[in-house]
């Protein structure tokens, strides 16, 4: 058995691993393991000694523990007293130290920003937020869209940065432009520029070698070049901010989140930013908190309490945004659609039987796929006319193809009513075929549409996402925009020309819903505006289950963030006339779905 000693080197803040060389093979195996786990420049090695930074040890200590536990017959591990003490205190030290720091005064903040040439005036809300978080090593800003999170984040950087410090922002690609524009607005045009880290690893390595001060990279790109980013961060002078940080809510099970969390010990300071940080449940906050304070023990049960002292949020109420009206419009299903719906529910019940005793991750995905079909059918029966041989024969399917269903009929009629009042409207639906169908039916109103198949590009190109948005803004003959929340819920503002939204359907993805709603309800609305959202539902259908779950998620986030203006309040409106979301289910969604399909009155 090989004796391994692990010591903490206080002067250099490093871990030193030494051996007695009683088993040269075991020593080489340990070396190869650490070589695979650590950035190459981080580790020095001799025949009896391995040394690397303490912060790296913290980031991989779980894996080191697993390595030794699986080889008890090969290694006897002894920690020095100082190393034991450091590990014992690691879980609380950084977080507790952060809470003990005195907040900066407004005058200190103003003086520091003035000294670095920060020219953009801060709002009262931004000043209040920076007073709370600017001294923290890691913090969160969860302000609503339009509150100026980007300006706030850049101020956080310049308040704390030395001349040699650098900033890496991880963000969706559609947010890159906003960061570039805000840097110009805060420091003066073209004084500094963001370098976009894109292309292959060789291209990014080349860009990093030039030593840019401000860098942008997408979440998906980062996990592909994690080692290169780790090497840069290991210099110890890089701040790392996560924009739309809810994108790592999947934690270690998601590649992009896993890469972020593996790097969490390396940045000099950290900031996370999201207007919807917990779209599904408090569990969404856990990976985001762990990025900020990776050595703190955190669970779904305590994360809300732990994050309270380190986050800020500017609410819509604080911004003076006019209140948004929510209405539910209930339409009846025609007789044939109702009969087929009952048959479809019976088939779904059969498919859900295995889930009654097992709601694993795999089962959640399977339930999601089942429920998508039901939601499609309620939204537009013709979507499943070729995909329901178990429920009816081809002749019945052909009957369904003759109608778009009562919900689409209502949406098109309502869009025409609003257009007659010279009011533009955005129509949301989760299904691509619905997006194109509604736009076709409303082509006389100049309808544009956006879904995942529409490429981003210049706003001078009418076929791009940006070109279509520009036309909706500028062309008075374009009264309707039809969009998929998955493709269009972030990065656009429609509120200056449109204060009406209609949801043909919604998924269980609360982030998509809240962010899509924010396209028309954000800072800049006239004080006398009356923004209104309508949810179109079929009576006694899956639509009510979706509404219940989304309202619960939104209200849970409202309580966690102390934001009363976020709470959903919905009025039902009767309408008397005959007529990538399966992956976002929570266990609560699944249980509610099962209860719906197996309740005694489920076929009413």
**Helices 361-379 + 406-420 axis angle, to 10:** 60
Beta strands across the sheet bearing 138-141: 194-196, 214-217, 166-170, 238-243, 270-273, 138-141, 311-312
Examine the pLDDT at 395 and tell me if it is beyond 60: no
Q: Which residue has the higher pLDDT, 44 or 303?
A: 303
Name the band, by pLDDT with cuts 50, 70 and 90, for residue 295.
Answer: confident
List, in order of start, the domains of the chain with CATH numbers.
2-90 (3.30.70), 101-314 (3.40.50.10810), 325-578+580-598 (3.40.50.300)
Q: Is 91 exposed, middle or buried (0-12, 13-18, 19+ CB in 10 A)?
A: middle
| C-beta contacts of 470-475 below 8 A and 24+ residues apart | 472/424, 472/448, 472/497, 472/498, 473/497, 475/446
Q: What is the pLDDT of residues 373-393, one digit of tens each?
A: 899 999 998 887 666 554 555
pLDDT of residue 160: 96
pLDDT of residue 426: 98
Examine the pLDDT at 156 and tell me if it is beyond 60: yes
pLDDT of residue 398: 62
**Helices 361-379 + 587-598 axis angle, to 10:** 60
Q: In this structure, what token pair is assigned to residue 534?
A: 């309508």
Q: In this structure, what token pair is assigned to residue 598?
A: 């197996």
Report the pLDDT averaged over residues 274-289.
92
Examine the pLDDT at 145 and tell me if it is beyond 60: yes
144 phi-psi bin (left φ>0, alpha ψ -120 to 50, beta other): beta
pLDDT of residue 402: 66
Give which of 490, 556, 507, 551 is closest to 245, Cα–Cα: 490
Report the pLDDT averaged over residues 564-573.
55
Q: In this structure, what token pair is assigned to residue 113?
A: 């920003």
pLDDT of residue 353: 82
pLDDT of residue 489: 67
Examine the pLDDT at 575 and tell me if it is beyond 70: no
Give which of 63, 117, 86 is closest to 15, Cα–Cα: 86
Name the band, by pLDDT with cuts 50, 70 and 90, for residue 326.
Answer: very high
Cα separation, 382 vs 407, whole angstroms: 12
pLDDT of residue 378: 93
Report the pLDDT averaged over residues 6-32.
85
pLDDT of residue 262: 83
Q: Out of 52-56, 284-288, 317-321, 599-603, pick the least confident.
A: 599-603
pLDDT of residue 570: 42
Give the mean pLDDT of the chain: 87
Examine the pLDDT at 359 and tell me if it is beyond 60: yes
Q: What percent of the chain has pLDDT over 90?
A: 51
pLDDT of residue 392: 53
Phi, psi angle pair for 300, to nearest 5°: -60, -25
Q: In this structure, what token pair is assigned to residue 326?
A: 């929510």
Q: Are 188 and 119 in contact (CB under 8 A)?
A: yes
List Cα–Cα distances, 44 to 31, 61, 63, 513, in angstroms: 10, 18, 19, 50
Examine the pLDDT at 571 and tell me if it is beyond 70: no
Terminal-residue alpha carbon distance, the chain: 70
Examine the pLDDT at 58 and tell me if it is beyond 60: yes
Q: What percent of the chain has pLDDT over 70?
A: 89
Report the pLDDT averaged over residues 300-318.
94
Name the band, by pLDDT with cuts 50, 70 and 90, for residue 360.
Answer: low
pLDDT of residue 582: 47
Where b means 16+ CB within 10 Å and e means fewer, 395-411 reads eebebbeebbbbbbbbb
Q: How distant is the alpha carbon of residue 484 from its chain centre?
A: 17
Cα separation, 429 vs 379, whole angstroms: 9
Q: Out of 65-79, 87-101, 374-388, 583-597, pick the least confident.
A: 87-101
Is residue 448 classed as helix, strand or coil in its secondary structure?
Answer: strand
Name the band, by pLDDT with cuts 50, 70 and 90, for residue 580.
Answer: very low
Cα separation, 58 vs 264, whole angstroms: 10
Q: What is the pLDDT of residues 407-436, one digit of tens each?
A: 999 999 999 999 999 999 999 999 999 999
């Amino acid at each position: 058995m090989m004796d391994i000693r692990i010591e903490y080197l206080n002067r250099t803040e490093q871990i030193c691993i030494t051996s007695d060389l009683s088993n040269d093979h075991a020593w080489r195996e340990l070396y190869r393991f650490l070589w695979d786990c650590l950035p190459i420049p981080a580790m020095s090695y001799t025949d009896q000694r391995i040394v690397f930074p303490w912060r790296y040890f913290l980031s991989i200590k779980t894996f080191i523990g697993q390595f030794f536990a699986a080889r008890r017959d090969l290694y006897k591990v002894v920690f020095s007293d100082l190393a034991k003490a450091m590990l014992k205190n690691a879980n609380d030290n950084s977080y507790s130290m952060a809470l003990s720091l005195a907040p900066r005064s407004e005058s200190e903040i103003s003086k520091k920003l003035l000294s670095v040439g920060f020219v953009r005036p801060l709002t009262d809300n931004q000043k209040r937020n920076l007073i709370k978080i600017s001294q923290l090593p890691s913090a969160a800003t969860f302000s609503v869209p339009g509150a100026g999170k980007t300006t706030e984040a850049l101020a956080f950087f310049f308040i704390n940065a030395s001349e040699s410090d650098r900033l890496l922002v991880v963000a969706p690609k559609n947010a890159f432009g906003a960061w570039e524009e805000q840097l110009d607005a805060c420091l003066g045009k073209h004084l500094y520029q963001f370098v976009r880290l894109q292309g292959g690893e060789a291209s990014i390595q080349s860009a990093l070698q030039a030593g840019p001060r401000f860098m942008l990279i997408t979440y998906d790109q980062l996990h592909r070049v994690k080692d290169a980013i780790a090497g840069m961060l290991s210099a110890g002078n890089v701040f790392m901010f996560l924009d739309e940080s809810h994108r790592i809510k999947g934690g270690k099970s998601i590649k992009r989140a896993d890469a972020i969390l593996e790097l969490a010990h390396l940045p000099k300071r950290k900031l996370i930013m999201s207007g919807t940080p917990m779209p599904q449940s408090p569990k969404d906050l856990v990976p985001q908190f762990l990025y900020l304070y990776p050595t703190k023990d955190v669970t779904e049960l305590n994360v809300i309490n732990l994050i309270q002292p380190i986050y800020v949020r500017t609410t819509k109420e604080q911004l003076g945004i006019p209140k948004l009206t929510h209405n539910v419009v209930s339409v009846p299903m025609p007789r044939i659609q109702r009969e087929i719906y009952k048959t479809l529910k019976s088939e779904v019940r059969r498919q859900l039987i295995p889930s009654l005793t097992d709601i694993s991750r795999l089962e959640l995905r399977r339930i999601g796929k089942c429920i998508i079909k039901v939601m499609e059918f309620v939204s537009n029966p013709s979507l499943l006319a070729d995909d329901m041989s178990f429920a009816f024969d081809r002749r019945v399917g052909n009957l369904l193809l003759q109608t778009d269903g009562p919900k689409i009929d209502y949406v098109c009629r309502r869009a025409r009513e609003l257009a007659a009042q010279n009011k533009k409207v955005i129509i949301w639906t989760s299904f691509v075929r619905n997006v194109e169908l509604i736009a076709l039916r409303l082509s006389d109103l100049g309808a544009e549409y956006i879904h995942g198949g529409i490429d981003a590009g210049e706003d001078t190109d009418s076929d791009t996402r940006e070109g279509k948005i520009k036309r909706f803004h500028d062309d008075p003959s374009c009264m309707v925009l039809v969009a998929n929340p998955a493709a269009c819920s972030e990065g656009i503002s429609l509120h200056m020309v449109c204060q009406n939204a209609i949801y043909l359907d919604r998924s269980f993805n609360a982030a998509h819903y809240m962010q899509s709603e924010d396209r028309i309800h954000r800072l800049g609305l006239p004080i006398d505006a009356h923004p209104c959202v309508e949810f179109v539902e079929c009576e006694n259908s899956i639509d009510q289950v979706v509404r219940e779950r989304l309202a619960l998620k939104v209200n849970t986030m409202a309580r966690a963030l102390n934001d009363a203006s976020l709470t959903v309040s919905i009025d039902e409106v009767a309408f008397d006339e005959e007529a990538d979301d399966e992956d976002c289910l929570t266990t609560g969604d699944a249980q509610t779905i099962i209860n719906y399909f197996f309740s005694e009155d489920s076929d009413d």
